[in-house]
Amino acid sequence: MISSDVMRGYNDMLILYLVYDAPSYGYEISKQIKEMSEGVYVMKETTLYSAFSRLEKMKYIEAFFGDESGGKRRTYYRITEEGRQYYREKCIEWREIQQVVEKFIRK
Amino acid sequence: METIRIYLENMFMHVKSTPEVEKAKAELYSMMEDKYQELKKEGRSENEAVGIVISEFGNLDELAAELGIEETVADSSEIEGVHVTLEEAKQYCKEQAKAGIRYGIASMLCVLCPIMLILMGGLQEEYGFADGIVAAGGLIPLLLIIACAVAIFIVTGISMSKYEKYEKEELFLDYATKQFVEAQREDGKLTFALQIAFGVFLCIIAVVPLIIVGSMELSSDMPAVLCVLVMLAIISVAVFFFVSAGTKSDAYHVLLQEEEYRADRKRKGSPLYIFDSIYWPVVTLIYLVWSFLTMQWHITWVIWPVAGILSAVFEAIIRAVSKE
């Protein structure tokens, strides 16, 4: 189980990845994070919401109301052009971090 | 689902309502609701689903900066007592349940320890063994079994000693943790009741074979001896259930500060704390002085049951007086 402290700085990237192709909503995103990490990382609701709210302030995502066929009115999040840009920068940053840290792993 | 709504309301109880806060609450509720529905669809019980949703909710601290409520959050963290986080509570419940099984096994061994001795005694009547063989064949297994039991008690006790502060000091559990512990207990209630009931049932039927054999007026004692062994075996299983179930549920009493772990007992200088720390030593002193002066040990033991009942009376009085 990875704690959200360790993931700090990359929570935003995970969310942007999940709304990159199509808008999504809170629970769907948290479920996908859990599934993609094979249960190793479970993002808490409060972490998720604070990330949404931060990303929205930075204009990386936009919130809008959507009605699903089920009938529940949910807040959906859609990525903006700035968001995509930011996501790509984060990816490059991660590659660099990974390369640096890798050098310090004793084999 | 109602529990989740109340939980959320309580988390935000001291937070001033602003449009941002209301929005956050609504969105958090929606996410929790979705998760709850999905868990129910997967076939989880109501309590389980609520427990998971609450345990994965997270911490209000994380929202503080976004919502501009840092002050409120900081205030609520200045509560006195040992703070038990959700993770710690979970770990404690898990370890306590494991310790319960170990204590249960050790208690079971204690009940079973005279088995060989009884069997050898029975065989001696039948076949006329020498006393030395009976003593060796009976006592050595008895001592070995007791040694094992004591070793288990000590090792388990040491590994659980890190949680002693939970029993001795005042605890502070945030709302999420408290909810989790209560949900856990609610979930385990049926199992607990069944274990105790089954244990009682075993204790009652344990003597049945002995009664039947006793009524048959047999010439040999051997059947009766075997029945005693069966009785001990059945009782040992019952003891296992009592001890393991009791130890496990003790964790909930400790965390929720109930019964002997009530907060007013632990507060240093409180009337109950003072009472607890002097009552039994004083009773012991009276017992010893009285016994040694009169040498009437067969009578003086009576002080124990009397003191036991009186302690409950004193406690009730102290509680009633200190409330006023």
Contact criterion met (CB < 8 Å) for A44 and B38? no
Chain A contacts of B69, Cβ < 8 Å?
none
Task: Kindly report the nearest CA distance between residue B64 and chain A, in angstroms.
Answer: 9
Residue B72: is its pLDDT beyond 60?
A: no
What is the tally of helices (H) and strands (E) in chain B? 16, 2
Min Cα separation B53/chain A (Å): 9
Asked whether residue B288 carries a pLDDT value surpassing 90, the answer given is: yes
Nearest to B225 by CA among B96, B74, B121: B121
CATH assignment of the domain containing A97? 1.10.10.10
**Angle at which helices A81-103 and A11-19 cross, to 10°:** 130
Amino acid, res. B31: M
pLDDT 10s digits, B184-222: 899 889 999 999 999 999 999 999 999 999 888 888 888
Question: Average per-residue pLDDT in chain A?
Answer: 88
Number of domains chain A contains: 1
B64 → chain A, closest CA residue: A50
**Is A48 in Cβ contact with B24 (below 8 Å)?**
no
Chain A contact set for B32 (CB, 8 A): 45
d(C-alpha B49, C-alpha B180), whole Å: 11
Q: Residue A34: which domain range?
A: 4-103
Q: How confident is the model at residue B178 (pLDDT cuts 50, 70, 90)?
A: confident
Residue B131 has pLDDT above 90, yes or no: no
pLDDT reported for residue A68: 66
Contact A53 B58 (CB under 8 A): no
Task: For residue range B73-103, list pLDDT tens digits in order.
Answer: 545 545 567 778 888 899 999 999 999 999 9
Q: Nearest-CA neighbor of B253 among B181, B197, B187? A: B181
What are the tokens at A40? 């190793």
> How many Å apart are CA B26 and CA B29, to the nearest integer?
5
Give how far B60 is from chain A: nearest CA, Å.
Answer: 7
Q: Are A43 and A27 in contact (CB under 8 A)?
A: no
pLDDT of residue B211: 92
pLDDT tens digits for range B256-279 = 888 778 877 777 778 888 888 899
On the question of pLDDT at B149 being above 90, the answer is yes
* Range with the poorest average pLDDT among A38-42, B13-17, B93-97, B245-249: B13-17
Q: What is the mean pLDDT of the segment spanning A96-102?
A: 93
The amino acid present at B32, given as its one-letter code, is M
Nearest-CA distance from B268 to chain A in Å? 37
Nearest Cα to Cα of residue B65 among A63, A33, A46, A45 = A46
Query: Where exactly are the structural domains of chain B?
Result: 2-76, 84-261, 271-323
Average pLDDT over residues B104-132: 89
The answer to whether B121 touches B138, Cβ cutoff 8 Å, is: yes
Give pLDDT, residue A83.
92
The pair of three-digit structure tokens given for residue B77, joined into one six-digit string: 């963290």
Q: CB–CB of B8/B32 below 8 Å?
A: yes
The one-character DSSP state at A87 is: H
The residue in chain A having the minimum alpha-carbon distance to the alpha carbon of residue B37 is A27
Contacts of A27 in chain B (CB under 8 A): 30-31, 34-35, 38
* Contact criterion met (CB < 8 Å) for A46 and B59: yes
Place B63 in a pLDDT band, splitting at 50, 70 and 90.
confident
Contacts of residue B79, defined as CB under 8 A and 6 or more positions apart, other chains included, come to: B172
Chain B residues bordering chain A (beta-carbon distance below 8 Å): 20, 24, 27-28, 30-32, 34-35, 38, 56-60, 62-63, 65-67
Average pLDDT of every residue of chain B: 87
**Per-residue pLDDT tens digits for A23-70:** 999 899 999 999 999 989 988 888 899 899 889 999 999 988 887 666
